[in-house]
Amino acid sequence: MGAARTAPVRPAWQEPPRRITTVAKGVVIAAITLVMLYPFVYVIAISFSAADAARSGDTLLIPAEFSLAAYRTIFAGDVVTRALLVSAGVTLVGTLLSVVMTVTLAYGLTRTREVPGSRFVLYLVLFTMLFGAGIIPNYLLVKELGLLDTYASLILPGAVSAFNLVVVRNFFMNLPQELFDSARIDGASEAQILWRIVVPLSKAVIAVIALFYGVAYWNDFFNAMIYLNDSEKWPIQLVLQQYVLQGSPLDQMAVSGQVEAAPKTIQMAVVVVATVPILLVYPFLQRFFTKGVLTGAIKG
Amino acid sequence: MHRRLDTLERAQASQRPPRPVRSGRSVWARAWRQRWMYVFIVPGLLYFVVFRYIPLAGNVVAFQQYSPFLGFAESPWVGLSNFTAMFSDPEVIRALQNTLWFSLLQIVFAFPAPIALALLLNSLLSDRIKRIVQSVVYLPHFIGWVIVVSLWQEIFGGAGVLNRMLEPLGVGPLNLMADPDTFAGLITAQVIWKEVGWGTIIFFAAITMISPQLYESAAVDGAGPWRRLWHVTLPGISSVIVLLLILRLGTVLTVGFEQLLLQQPAVGADAAQVVDTFTYYRGVLGGDWGLAAAVGLVKGVIGTVLVIGANRLAKRMGGQGVF
Amino acid sequence: MTTSRPLPGGGLSRRRFLGGLAGLGAGAYLLSSCSSGGSGPTSGGTAGGGTGFSLPDYAAPRDLAGATISDVPGVLPAYEQFPLPPFKSVAQPPGRGGTVTSLHPLFTAPPDDLQGSEVFQAFQRGLNVTLEPTYTPIGSYENKLATVLAGGSIPDITWVNTETVPAAVSYFQQGAFADLSDVLGGDGVSAYPNLAQLPSYAWRNCAVEGVLYGVPRGIPLLNNSVALYRADWAAALGFPEAPADAAEYLELMTAFSKGAPRGSGQSWGAAVLDAGFVRQMFRVPNEWRLEEDGTLTHYVESDEYRAALEFHLQEFDAGVYHPDATMGGDTYTRAIDLLQSGQTGFYAGSLNAQFALRRPGTLTGDPGSDVQPLAPPGHDGGDPLTYEQRGYYGMAAISAEAAQDDARLHELLGIVDYWSAPFGSEEYVLVNYGLEGRQVTFEDSGQLVPVPPDQAPAEALVPYLTQVRETLFYFPGAQADAGLAQGAMETVVRSSAPNPVTGLISDTAIRQGAALGQLNNDYETGIVTGQRSLDELDEWRDRWRSGGGDAMRREFQDALERVDS
């Protein structure tokens, strides 16, 4: 199957690529890929370097002196492991909830001319993109709702993003209208239309917002910092932020006679630990970006 | 029969200019017909009301000298003085100029970059290469600004890789990271590098919605790759482009706060002060919640005007707009 | 209209953003303390501008073997060994068995499971309370504190630093935290023997408008005067003695950059601008100078500062600075990295902590390295003007609500007393390091040796509050450094001066302070790096004056008159 994929599938109507175009594209894309990839390679290499080698600047592509010290420091104790689990749980549950709420609301707002009041709701949603509240009112709300120190406080305050909602709605509006008409003629309810027609045809955009939400939940540390008192509930980004933003405890803690391991290797290891899990999600979502979802739909 | 007519009408209505409201049927009757839609709307609406609108009331602090300990009720009211304090500060003009200049550069260069990249990748024949490249280009999005800035420094800084390579050539040293004259270009380049791949994702999704039949018939009509790009692909994703552009205009007064705060010391505030860093130094650092809220409100008003204007323009030009 | 405005300032929590700005001087005129009298730990008397409380009566520390108490006021004691076995400093557990909530800053990774930590359990037993600490990353402390106050449930004990959270001054004035002036002033402190040993300068400086709102965490009063330099490089480059004036200092720094001290590979004098060091060398005012006619001169306006800028320019032209010296971001890590990897020869950090960099093996790949303390010489060979600073880093404040009950207040202060256990006590070991056999070992030679972090159990330690570790010199494994550090401190204390407006509050400083600090930082960087010419100094001074400097001066001068009368 893999072998079959390697051969580019060119539709019959498409002319064979010109050699010069292919070469030009190849060069440009290779250059872009390199520029995007190299920093990550460098980050990984530093994270696996011995502290001295990282400081000296010898590590450029592969660790000048291989060491797991940075990872050992980060994974000492259960803190990071537990935080990774917390983040994974919050991201999974949060993304699911957010996607469902966004898709339903977006669909609910697609026919503003026919559904009285829905245009007003759309305005309400858009307004929140332009005007926001400070952290204190948000904190007071979460407190009043009894959500302080709960995982729900990491999910609910950001459950629906107006931006994602507008994007999804835009995709829904661009679906061919005939599909809906025929479904309604066949007596399908709106719920059935949403579930059987809109969602299957919008897999790509749903995958996109799932990714947006997932990454937002994964990367969030601010809500956790404000809403959680119990540091054992902290998600990974809040834990790891402590390694990156503070250079080293040396200055403040003044642990006389103790110097922590080189911050740079730890900082880079932090980047790796904080990003690799969420990066792994992308390939799974990528398969939804296949062209031509509408082909069969319209013919049928 | 009647039912069928009605659905057809409705379907056509969404593609036609609005007709005068059918006064024959009451709003309630129409709402009842669409009750399913309300089932979809209400949970989301509730969410927005509870989690977005209730806290919004906290913006009254823009008219207060707010202290968290005293609370909204006890903090003294100061009328419009937070707004006058903001507008009477000569620094705010410079901050506005810089903000608009950076925003303009980003809209002109950083906004179209993902579109170009998405189109380029889309033109690749090999699915496998396409997937690999896609997975690579979105990596920088995940690196925080603190790390991004230090990585750029290691390459473009005064002691960086670039200067070490230029040294034998007798050029330099160039300190691109600390030059106020090229600073706007620097931060735009950073934004492009960090976000271009991430930005492509949404356009890929849009491209999947274009029917291959359109390409086929265009090809049959003799359109080459460029013309197909121009007449099929771009129109196919144009509504997303317009949507994102309008939304971007709403945040025209917001440019990378952390990115600028980190790099400001080297080039100075004259080159790097933006509205958000101004608020940070004048408001946030002193715990001046009132000033910060006032700036937020002004930004919101300007964003609203721009969004409404752009939306109207988009509709006049035949597009769909946001709302 | 703005009388109770919160104080702004580029506090230490901003270090990650503001880098060099946070080090020395920035925001020093925003201090909320009250200054008067001497600077020694034993000086007593009244603190505060007119309305002051009596300073807590100072109790001298226990006489310990290997201790050197300096006779220069303000200099920290040095200890060459740890008394073994440690003595008990808290006779009775202060707690009554209930629950105590607290809010702490976090400078490191968050602690592991508290209930599973033997150290934390031992601490709770020692206190006889169930402690419920909340940890907050130092970078977000002001947000957390603001939300906690807005939410109305203030913890029993809260670490508050007006440098990190300038707005805290207004929280104090609005009554969020208990007024401890009467409880701890004078001989009131004798009920808490460990608190009575805290340095008087810390008590004096942490008072807000003459009112005491907390127990200070003491740090050296001159924390940013002594720097470090590579004496081995200097000797090899022909400088066997420390520089005695500005010219020699410049020669040395230039040699660090151009003399190829490491053989191959590029090296520099300093990783970041040595602004604080040079200003003290040129006797630039400690933020403000009180002239004989009663007017105030800001350092930006002084001739000394122009001279310091000219000197910086010479340094810059001589290539003393690392090319990224003016970059923001994590300047602290950068500076340490460059020193440790042998790329720079000069480092200016905080007094106590930087001595860790002298530990053998810290400078990588260079076993022969010799890092020595360096006090700023006077630029002309005379005395420098060294800067007295706040001398405390935050304080433990007691919730006003909890303090309404006298017995509860006594209990909570007893808990803070435990946290402030003096050097040599078993409580000191627990709150600063942990447990013997887990985090530390005692050696027969009379040393307390910390177990290396990678060999110690990963468990929660006692949260950061009022530990006294930074108010003394003790370097296990490098005992002699205590005397070295003390000697260096004696040198700089002799020529020190306080900031004359310490303890005075100016509305303009509150509102415009951070923005003016940014302006000064910009011009300084611009001039030193040649992006601006030195001629722009006049324009700079005008912008500073019209941007709030003159108003600030007027308000401070008025305040000075009020205090004098």
Report the distance separating Cα B306 and Cα C337, nearest Å.
47
Q: What is the CATH superfamily name and number for domain B79-316?
A: MetI-like (1.10.3720.10)
Residue of C nearest to A71 (CA): C454
Inter-chain CB proximity A8 and B127 less than 8 Å: yes
Residue of A nearest to C136 (CA): A225
Average per-residue pLDDT in chain C? 86
Which residues in chain C have Cβ-Cβ distances shorter than 8 Å to A256? Answer: 352-353, 355-356, 469, 474-476
> In terms of Cα–Cα distance, which of C322, A267, C106 is closest to B149?
A267
Predicted confidence (pLDDT) at residue C42 exceeds the cutoff of 50:
no
Inter-chain CB proximity B67 and C166 less than 8 Å: no
Residue C263: predicted pLDDT: 73
Domain boundaries, chain C: 31-221+391-497, 227-387
Domain boundaries, chain A: 18-72, 78-245
Coarse DSSP helix, strand, coil percentages of chain A, rounded to the nearest 5 percent? 70, 0, 30
Between A176-190, B53-67, C226-240, C297-311, the lowest mean confidence (pLDDT) is in A176-190
C107 touches chain B (CB under 8 A): no
Of the partner residues B59, B140, B224, the one whose CB lies closest to the CB of residue A133? B59
pLDDT tens, residue by residue, C370-422? 999 999 999 999 999 999 998 999 999 999 999 999 999 999 999 999 999 99
Nearest-neighbour CA in chain B from A170: distance (Å): 7
C454 touches chain A (CB under 8 A): yes
Residue of C nearest to A238 (CA): C137
Of the partner residues B153, B269, B288, the one whose CB lies closest to the CB of residue C327? B153
pLDDT tens, residue by residue, B225-246? 888 988 999 998 999 999 999 9
Residue of A nearest to C352 (CA): A254
A249 touches chain C (CB under 8 A): yes
Count CB atoms within 10 A of the CB of residue C116. Answer: 13
pLDDT tens, residue by residue, C145-196? 999 999 998 999 999 998 778 788 889 989 999 999 999 999 999 999 999 9
B91 touches chain C (CB under 8 A): yes
ipTM of the complex: 0.86
pLDDT tens, residue by residue, C85-101? 899 999 999 999 999 99
Q: Can you list the alpha helix ranges (DSSP code H) found in C93-177?
A: 118-127, 141-151, 168-174
Q: What's the whole-number mean pLDDT along residues A47-53?
A: 83
Report the distance separating Cα A186 and Cα C297, nearest Å.
86
Residue of C nearest to A232 (CA): C113
Report the distance separating Cα A90 and Cα C112, nearest Å.
20
Residue B304: predicted pLDDT: 95
List residues bridging with C448 in a β-sheet: C442
Q: Which residue has the higher pLDDT, B30 or C254?
A: C254
Residue A291: predicted pLDDT: 62
pLDDT tens, residue by residue, A242-287? 776 543 333 333 332 333 444 678 888 988 998 999 888 888 888 8
pLDDT band at C53, cuts 50/70/90? Answer: confident
pLDDT band at B202, cuts 50/70/90? Answer: very high
Q: Choose the CATH number for C31-221+391-497 among 3.40.250.10, 3.40.630.30, 3.40.190.10, 3.40.50.2300.
A: 3.40.190.10
In this structure, are residues B232 and B214 in contact, taking their beta carbons and an 8 Å threshold? yes
Coarse DSSP helix, strand, coil percentages of chain C, rounded to the nearest 5 percent? 40, 15, 45
Residue A63: predicted pLDDT: 84
Residue C457: predicted pLDDT: 86
Inter-chain CB proximity A263 and C12 less than 8 Å: no
Residue A244: predicted pLDDT: 67
Residue of A nearest to C448 (CA): A257
Predicted confidence (pLDDT) at residue C43 exceeds the cutoff of 70:
no
Q: Which residue has the higher pLDDT, C564 or C71?
A: C71
Tokens of B211: 């029917």
What is the residue-wise DSSP string for A161-209? Answer: -HHHHHHHHHHHHTS-HHHHHHHHHTT--HHHIIIIIIHHHTHHHHHHH
Of the partner residues C19, C328, C514, the one whose CB lies closest to the CB of residue B285? C514
Share of chain C above pLDDT 90, in %: 59
Domain boundaries, chain B: 79-316
Q: What is the CATH superfamily name and number for domain A78-245?
A: MetI-like (1.10.3720.10)
> In terms of Cα–Cα distance, which of A237, A188, A197 is closest to A216?
A237
Inter-chain CB proximity B136 and A36 less than 8 Å: yes
Question: What fold does the segment set C227-387 form as a domain?
Answer: D-Maltodextrin-Binding Protein; domain 2 (3.40.190)
- List all chains that touch chain C, counting a touch as 3 or more CB pairs closer than 8 Å: A, B
In this structure, are residues B198 and A278 in contact, taking their beta carbons and an 8 Å threshold? no
Report the distance separating Cα B257 and Cα B273, nearest Å.
10
A255 touches chain C (CB under 8 A): yes
Count CB atoms within 10 A of the CB of residue C113. Answer: 16
Between A47-61, B53-67, C3-17, the lowest mean confidence (pLDDT) is in C3-17
Query: Could you tell me which residues come within 8 angstroms of residue B149 by beta carbon, excluding any fewer than 6 positions away?
Result: B190, B259, B262, B263, C328, C329
Which residues in chain B have Cβ-Cβ distances shorter than 8 Å to C162? Answer: none
Residue B306: predicted pLDDT: 95
Predicted confidence (pLDDT) at residue B10 exceeds the cutoff of 60:
no
**∠ Cα C175 C178 C182 (to 5°):** 120
pLDDT tens, residue by residue, C310-368? 999 999 999 999 988 888 767 777 888 888 888 999 999 888 888 888 877 777 667 77
Average per-residue pLDDT in chain B? 86
Report the distance separating Cα B199 and Cα B137, nearest Å.
10
Q: Which residue has the higher pLDDT, C239 or C52?
A: C239
Nearest-neighbour CA in chain C from A229: distance (Å): 5
Residue A294: predicted pLDDT: 60
Inter-chain CB proximity A15 and B224 less than 8 Å: yes
The secondary structure of residue A18, as a DSSP letter, is P
pLDDT tens, residue by residue, C295-314? 999 999 999 999 999 999 99
Residue B1: predicted pLDDT: 37
